[in-house]
Amino acid sequence: MALIEVRNLTKVFPLGESIFGGGAKGKVRAVDDVSLDIAQGETLGLVGESGSGKSTLGRLVLNLIKPSSGSVRFNGQELVSAGHSEMRRLRREMQIVFQDPFGSLDPRLRVEDIVSEPLVIHEHMSRDAQRTRVAELLRAVGLDDSVLRRFPHEFSGGQRQRIGIARALALRPKFIVADEPVSALDVSVGAQIVNLLAQLQRDFGLTYLFISHSMPVVRYLATRIAVMYRGRIVEIGSTEQITERPQHAYTRSLLEATPEIAV
């Protein structure tokens, strides 16, 4: 059984109301009948142009938004119909890392409180045990204790992303959706974060859904790649298959659009 099983997942959004009171103007099928599996310990890369539905699919898989139809199973358990307390338990095992670490870190909190917040909410831990855990997490992402009392604005983008990753790891999740985690960073800094994610996967046995519009980044990290176009998965296969023998014209255009980078 795969860790994540997505079946016939569809999300339809209304396309804004008419100012003349004519009701909804139409609908967009942001995710359209998507089925895929993600095996324990693998990285599924999800690529596609802007607006193709990648983030919507990522949020559906985490049950952060409800689908119009279809099913998502995590470890065999259906999420779409899961109740509040069930989801609260499952939330700990699934986390998200965002593109913009600044937007996702509370600017008023110190690093110590940002990283320990999930522990405060979900775990009954002594203050000492919390401190120890936060220090461990920061070490795991390549930061030391000197950052504890500082605020997000005191850091560079790459360091902020490390803080966001430490926070995402706090509850020892099994599965992480990384939604364009390096797109806002310089290439060399992005490469360091990609390497960090690969290292953490080895250390903690993580499973990733890694969303990116950059084929070279996805190619480096992913076990398999899914190509999304207008809400649909038009091609899915091993990284080698997709990058060396793409079947779909759209996949070929994505490969041509992106120059090689050194990771």
Among 2, 7, 10, 28, binds ligand ATP (CB under 6 A): 28
- Decide if residue 205 touches ligand ATP (CB under 6 A): no
Residue 167 burial (CB count, 10 A): 24
Site for Mg ion contains 52 (CB under 5 A): no
β-pairing verdict for 43-47 and 224-229? parallel
Q: Which two tokens stand for residue 134?
A: 């936060």
Tokens of 193: 């974060």
Residue pair 209/178 in contact by the 8 Å Cβ criterion: yes
Q: Looking at 49-57, 103-111, 117-125, 164-172, which segment touches Mg ion (CB under 5 A)?
A: 49-57
Report the residue from 17, 18, 27, 51 that binds ligand ATP according to the rule CB under 6 A.
51
Query: Per CB under 6 A, which region of 44-52, 87-95, 147-155, 164-172 contacts ligand ATP?
Result: 44-52
When binding is defined by CB under 6 A, the residue of 38, 44, 47, 54 that contacts ligand ATP is 54
Q: Which does 13 bind (CB under 5 to 8 A by kind): ligand ATP, Mg ion, none?
A: ligand ATP
CB atoms within 10 A of CB 247: 12
| 212 contacts Mg ion (rule: CB under 5 A) | no
Q: What are phi and psi of 55, to 5 degrees?
A: -65, -40
Taking the complex as a whole, the smallest distance from the CB of residue 179 to ligand ATP amounts, in Å, to: 7
The answer to whether 50 contacts ligand ATP (rule: CB under 6 A) is: yes
Binds ligand ATP (CB under 6 A): choice among 38, 44, 56, 72: 56
Beta strands in the chain (DSSP E): 4-14, 27-38, 43-47, 69-74, 77-78, 94-97, 175-179, 207-211, 224-229, 232-238
| By the rule CB under 5 A, 214 interacts with Mg ion | no
How many other CB atoms sit within 10 Å of the CB of residue 60?
25
Select from ligand ATP, Mg ion, none the partner in contact with residue 213, using the beta carbon and a kind-dependent cut-off of 5 to 8 Å: ligand ATP
28 binds, among Mg ion, ligand ATP, none (CB under 5 to 8 A by kind): ligand ATP
CB 125, min distance to ligand ATP, A: 35
Q: What are phi and psi of 6, to 5 degrees?
A: -105, 130
Q: Which is nearer to ligand ATP, 27 or 172 (CB)?
A: 27
Q: Quick one: which segment of 51-59, 138-146, 229-237, 241-249 binds Mg ion (CB under 5 A)?
A: 51-59
Are the beta carbons of 254 and 227 closer than 8 angstroms? yes
Question: Residue 22 — φ and ψ, nearest 5°?
Answer: -80, 5
Does residue 217 bind ligand ATP (CB under 6 A)? no
Cβ of 134: how many Cβ atoms within 10 Å?
22
Cα(95)–Cα(115) distance, integer angstroms: 13
The structure tokens 């997490």 sit at 137
Please report how close the Cβ of residue 16 comes to ligand ATP at its closest, in angstroms: 8
Chain residues binding Mg ion by CB under 5 A are 55
Chain residues binding ligand ATP by CB under 6 A are 13, 28, 30, 48, 50-56, 213
